[in-house]
Structure 1
Amino acid sequence: MLKAGLVGTGVLAAGALGSGSAAALVRADRPSLTHGVQSGDVSADSAIVWTRADRPSRMIVEVSGDPAFRRTRTVRGPLLTPGTGGTGKVRLRGLRPGSEVHYRVTAQSLDGRVVSAPLTGRLRTAPRGDEDVRLLWSGDVAGQGFGINPEIGGMTVFAAMAARRPDLFLHCGDTVYADGPLTEKVELPDGRVWRNIVTPEKAKVAETLAEYRGQHAYNLLDDNLRAFAAEVPSYVQWDDHEVVNNWYPGEILDLPEYSEKRVDVLARRAFQAFHEWYPIDHKSAVDGRVYRNFRYGDRVEVFVLDMRSYKDRNDADQTKPGSVLGRRQADWLVRALGASTATWKIVQADLPIGLVVPDGDDTGDIEGVANGLPGAPGGREAELAMVLREIARRRVRNVVWLTADVHYTAAHHYSPDRAAFTGFDPFWEFVSGPLNAGAFGPNTLDPTFGPKAVFVHAPPVANTSPMGGFQHFGELDVDGASGELTVSLRDGAGSSLWSTTLRPQGR
């Protein structure tokens, strides 16, 4: 039996014993950092650093430009208490632009007498000027019954991503599968057996705040993910499985495994856990939730969307205008893209634009943006049509859309020359994922915005396990001198499956 203690004990031990310490000398009330460290929401002169302790304590962060920490400054962080599930984060300020920053985190007992063993991490602040930039993106972690399998080394895709030495990771959602319980083993069609680490929270669907917290805690039991999070800062958004599959505001569930049927109640609990467990600065979000934008040098600006909190019902009439961003977010996106002076405007979306994503089989309900109908934009397409039309009118150039969600990788080119709706400029959408989940696809492309599938890598059988070779992440390399953007779609081992280089157009 593979229980969490087999990994969890190792995590706790690593955080509880400092270099040269002996177990007999560790005080019983000494705090321990249980789930590593993370950084995110970086800017040119600041970054968020996150950790979690096993008992009430004070978060302390030492900051240095030196990996040996010969010269440091100390930042006093928040109290780590049960009110946040033991998690805490602090923004480090006064950092140098475009520099490598090393940080060392400890938890200090409330009486100030003892501290935890330290954990270290690194990050790179956003540059100022025309510097080279490397970003990775993907999504979908521990889904369809495939969690942490120690027999194959855990979630090895995170080690492959770390080997690419990226500046940033854009997590496009489905950070957890709160609606997908794990079992200790999964019988695969080819006769092999997938074996999972299982925790009590992952043995059922999440409904309580503690259970939602346990979803995020589970993923950080993986050595590869913890090491990646300590080395690469992230910008994180959510999708549906952080709450429940294909959810929308106001939904009432008809699922026997849920005792709480009100999705709005579940979403509030899930949202709290989501913000507690990631280095997200709610103050930087326009609405205090998820959607926000950030600059990364002269060449890159990223626009993080929330296509969950404001969407309409999945059974809405697809012949009438619908909502996926909400009017306030859609207007913000148009204004923010129009105001950007970055060479490349990267839209980090949690749903694809042109892929038809139904909600259930043979119901006619639509989970995604595309409604599957030819002709003029209908349903949620109408809102995207407005955004595309307005940024074309404002002559916003070099907009690239990134997403995950559908569990395969693809390159889509959209053109008004092939479209029913023609009031927009051609653009690319790149799809990647999953990171550690069942692989699916490909989905049908809706013709409304004239998409063409230039490249697709999808499994021949639905719900192919992570051992099947269809886990993916994407990479963006921006050349600081020329401004050219090279996009590479990679498999779970880091090998490039397809790439293209885009040349920037003048505004």
Structure 2
Amino acid sequence: MERGVDRRAFIGGAAGLAAGVLISGPGAIASRSGPAGRRPHPLSDVRFSQGVASGQPGERAMTLWTRVDGAGRRGTIRLEVSRDSDFRRLVSSRRVVVDGADNHTAQVRVKGLNPGERYFYRFEAADHATRVGRFTTLPGDSRQPVRIGFFSCQAWEAGYYVGHRGLAREDDLDLLVCLGDYVYERPFYEDDGVRRDRTGENNDGEVQTLPEYRAKYALYHSDANLRQLRARAPMMAIWDDHEVEDNYAHMRPGEATLDRRIKFEKRRRNGYKAFYEHMPFGPAEGERFRLYRSIKLGRTAELFMLDERKYRSDQACDEQIPCPPQERNAEGRTLLGAEQLGWVKRGLNRSRARWKIVANQVMAMALDAPANNPINMDQWDGYGADREELFRFVKAKRIKYVSLLTGDIHTFFAGDVTPTGRLAGEGGAEDPVATEFVGGSMTSRGIVDTIEATTGSPPAPSIQAGLADSAVVRSNNPHIKYAELSRNGYGLLVARDDQLDVRYRSPESVERRRSPIETIARFRVEAGTPQVEVLEPGP
């Protein structure tokens, strides 16, 4: 339960609002009438157990989120936005409609704010209020440094969210980016997990219906560290597969479902709707549930968010390895789909930002074990034609300052990206055209454990040998400059005009509720040089 706020203190001073602040969004304005023209009434006897969040940042706008528990009907709550944490300098105080059709979530677009300014916000119903959240609007046409925290893969049962607590305590983050697997549709590590997931019809943690996916988000948001993180800075997220179903591709289901109770098309729709209900942003314009979009972060950086699940071809070779090049690199096999691929090419080429940061679900660098034998057809290795087209375009157009932030694989990597994924391609040597930082996982287990958990059997001995330790991985993959195979955690990126600075931060253990956080690696990318420099290698 979130900390309550005295109602008199909450509503006091509402007359001092700044002019020009607007509020919009689905169901956001209380003046909208309900059935037969009836205006919705204020809600009482409700709680805000899932906290607050902000997202889709702009220079003069921000989207604010909460969810109301126990509403039972359509009604209104109140949103306040202030320049100070005591809410004495209010810029907005407005009633907001919540409705059961959207799980009584509020997703409110606040406009008319000032660029580069910090604000505080909270929601209230009757005698209860949310915790106070905060955000800073984007700086506008500025070259000031941009600080991004990135994370992914937070399986509930695999560990405690100690990394979230550490990330929430990092100073002055401009943006949080989740790189996928925000929730898991079923447990994969329950046999030796540290906590239990009893969502789903059978109480086995597997969710398929819309109410079940909603219960999954409620479970994850019951963790105080995750709620604290969401309240601390604006957050954007891309989904990977587990927000719907492990290893699905476009309209093809995966193979890890324990007890399929509904058709996959409906399950996918349920997963997408629940995702957007629980995020502080809605779908991008263009199509229902569209995820991919870009956000300008001043003149220093632009963030390109990709969707590598909704449009992809099925995994090459049915994910069996070895997989011959003629299949994994076949023309017509796509990870992004033609429309999204064209969009990101145009966006990178037209961007006037110094750094083009790509939020990317699956690894673009090759992962071979042994050398020249890719082991993961789920990543860009299984979609060679798309990788070639995108990164040869980057090379041909001389687009500089491209760096990818990646999740999915539960391992910390950092290295250089080429059109073939390797420094030595089939046509000879390849020069890097971008860099990539793979941010590990918050709780989910490493590569070998995950392969066994998802397939039911351990990987082949040759693959296990190729993943035995970091030195072996780097020997087989010289484009990978850093590898840490056993730690969990998150990444911090600071974009400056002349360089990128990246740190990997990790708790000693996610199996203890309290564990100290330490920096395990640090990197630099000089402006104009698409190569990762390792400044502080991990232990």
Asked whether the equivalents of residues 250 and 262 of structure 1 are also in contact (C-alpha less than 8 Å), the reply is no
Aligned twin of 1:465: none
Matching of residues 398-409 of structure 1 within 5 Å = 398-409=401-412
Aligned twin of 1:496: 519
Question: Is 1:44 paired with 2:59?
Answer: yes
1:425 Cα deviation after fit: 4.7
Relative to structure 1, the CA distance from residue 409 to residue 446 in structure 2 (aligned partners, 3 Å threshold; closer, same or farther) is closer
Most deviating of 43-52 and 287-296: 287-296
Q: 2:143 aligns with which of 113, 124, 130?
A: 130
Matching of residues 335-414 of structure 1 within 5 Å = 335-356=346-367, 366-371=377-382, 380-414=383-417
Aligned twin of 1:453: 480
1:171 Cα deviation after fit: 0.5
Secondary structure of the residue that 1:410 maps to in structure 2? strand
For residues 381 and 497 of structure 1, what CA distance do their matches in structure 2 show? 32
For residues 77 and 446 of structure 1, what CA distance do their matches in structure 2 show? 55
Asked whether the equivalents of residues 176 and 215 of structure 1 are also in contact (C-alpha less than 8 Å), the reply is yes
1:56-90 deviations in Å (ceiling 9; x for gaps): 43242211111111021335464222211121210
Aligned twin of 1:120: 132
Identity %: 24
Relative to structure 1, the CA distance from residue 336 to residue 75 in structure 2 (aligned partners, 3 Å threshold; closer, same or farther) is farther
Q: Which amino acid aligns with 2:330?
A: K
For residues 368 and 251 of structure 2, what CA distance do their matches in structure 1 show? 20
Q: Which amino acid aligns with 1:478?
A: A
1:195 Cα deviation after fit: 3.6
TM-score, length basis structure 1: 0.80
Q: 2:45 aligns with which of 8, 11, 30?
A: 30
Q: Which amino acid aligns with 1:419?
A: G
Relative to structure 1, the CA distance from residue 426 to residue 195 in structure 2 (aligned partners, 3 Å threshold; closer, same or farther) is closer
For residues 382 and 446 of structure 1, what CA distance do their matches in structure 2 show? 24
Gaps of 5+ in 2: 9-41, 318-326, 370-374, 449-463, 508-515, 531-539
Most deviating of 76-85 and 381-390: 76-85
For residues 218 and 286 of structure 2, what CA distance do their matches in structure 1 show? 24
1:234-274 deviations in Å (ceiling 9; x for gaps): 11000011111111123255567223364322111100000
Relative to structure 1, the CA distance from residue 160 to residue 331 in structure 2 (aligned partners, 3 Å threshold; closer, same or farther) is same
Matching of residues 82-481 of structure 1 within 5 Å = 82-107=100-125, 114=126, 116-128=128-140, 129-142=142-155, 145-146=157-158, 154-165=160-171, 166-180=173-187, 186-187=191-192, 194-196=193-195, 198-201=197-200, 203-252=204-253, 257-260=258-261, 262-283=263-284, 288-315=289-316, 317-321=327-331, 322-356=333-367, 366-371=377-382, 380-415=383-418, 418-420=424-426, 425-440=432-447, 452-459=479-486, 470-479=487-496
Gaps of 5+ in 1: 1-10, 22-26, 108-113, 148-153, 188-193, 359-363, 372-379, 460-469
Aligned twin of 1:4: none
Relative to structure 1, the CA distance from residue 97 to residue 418 in structure 2 (aligned partners, 3 Å threshold; closer, same or farther) is same
For residues 433 and 346 of structure 1, what CA distance do their matches in structure 2 show? 17
Q: Which amino acid aligns with 1:354?
A: M
1:446-472 deviations in Å (ceiling 9; x for gaps): 99xx8611111112xxxxxxxxxx112
1:257-309 deviations in Å (ceiling 9; x for gaps): 22336432211110000000011232457775110000111111000000000
Aligned length: 444
Relative to structure 1, the CA distance from residue 390 to residue 275 in structure 2 (aligned partners, 3 Å threshold; closer, same or farther) is same
Secondary structure of the residue that 2:273 maps to in structure 1? helix
For residues 350 and 115 of structure 1, what CA distance do their matches in structure 2 show? 42
1:423 Cα deviation after fit: 7.5
For residues 357 and 248 of structure 1, what CA distance do their matches in structure 2 show? 23
Asked whether the equivalents of residues 356 and 368 of structure 1 are also in contact (C-alpha less than 8 Å), the reply is no
Relative to structure 1, the CA distance from residue 90 to residue 309 in structure 2 (aligned partners, 3 Å threshold; closer, same or farther) is same
Relative to structure 1, the CA distance from residue 451 to residue 95 in structure 2 (aligned partners, 3 Å threshold; closer, same or farther) is farther
